[in-house]
Amino acid sequence: MNYSYYPGCSLSDTALDYDRSVRAVCARLGLGLVDIPDWNCCGASSAHMTSHEIGMRLPLRNLLLAAELGHDVLVPCAACFQRLKAAERSLRADPGYWDVPADLPEFRIVHISSLLSEPQHLASLGEQVRLPLEGLSLACYYGCLSLRHPKITGARNYEQPRALEEIIGALGANAVSWSHRTECCSGSLTMARPDIAEALVGDIVAAARRAGAQALVTDCPMCQANVESRQRHSATQPGLPVFFATELIVAALDGSYPASQGRLHLVSAQVLSNVVKRAAEQREEAA
């Protein structure tokens, strides 16, 4: 099956490693990604706060380009997903206002976690795991934008989502029960009001730590960057790294976690390196 692929700005720059892991995982699942030609920024999160018209026109152009490819649209970035879904909702409601064909082909806009948590893909991931991530306790962090508002995203279980838990469960890791999985990290305020960002991120990290998490796992590049960069940590209280779900999948399927990947994190990713190393040693002893 092929998908029209919209990486968005983050995955083309600051979260380039996220893009690579998404492509690697999709290849392992036999999912073809067709890049949307000449895509543009979706406007998140500044455009729609400045002008509704601009905030709609930017993602609408991407949807029209995707429609020409004839596939459902796969979006890894939660912010991009939310903006494309908002544009689609407006487009379907009033195509005349946006001056687009009324017979625009039907297509779905799919977030990466929704796709990977489908039963057939979970089963395939489980079969391909070389080194289970046993002993790794993770706090699954969704943030705001891939789930809310449900009238836009279509999310049914937006208060108690399970997609990330199901994905890491297929890898052998443990998902802790915790309180802040859908709380906002203040991604859009991280530059303008770092004091607010640090306070909200501090609450999130503290909640994950109380639940016994060794790290967080997310599917949003803005959340990943914000939570890693805005949390406070010290020698007596180390920070918690924030992994992309697809990053963990690649580690489990390949049976390795390169040091070059770990160095991309702002908080030490040694906990994952240790889990992979221990799993490899156990496999060698069993052999």
Residue 169, pLDDT score: 97
Same domain, 209 and 281: yes
Q: In this structure, are 278 and 154 located in the same domain?
A: yes
Tell me how far apart the alpha carbons of residues 278 and 215 are, in angstroms, rounded to a whole number. Answer: 17
Task: Specify whether 14 is located in the same domain as 87.
Answer: yes
Write down the residue that tokens 């391909």 correspond to. Answer: 128
Instruction: List C-alpha distances in Å: 78 to 30, 45, 150, 232, 253.
Output: 23, 11, 13, 25, 24
Domain boundary among 84, 113, 142: 113
What residues in the chain have per-residue pLDDT under 50? Answer: none
Radius of gyration of the chain (CA): 19
Domain of residue 146 covers: 132-286
**Confidence (pLDDT) at 99:** 82
Strand ranges (E), the chain? 2-5, 32-35, 72-75, 109-111, 137-141, 174-175, 215-218, 242-244
How high is the pLDDT of residue 249? 98
Domain count, the chain: 2
Residues 149 and 261 in one domain: yes
Q: Does residue 126 form part of some domain?
A: no
For residue 172, with 0-12 CB atoms within 10 Å meaning exposed, 13-18 middle and 19 or more buried, which class applies? middle
Please indicate, yes or no, whether residues 180 and 226 belong to a single structural domain of this protein.
Answer: yes
Tell me, yes or no, whether 120 lies in a domain: no
Could you tell me how far CA 23 lies from the centroid of its own chain?
A: 13
pLDDT of residue 253: 97
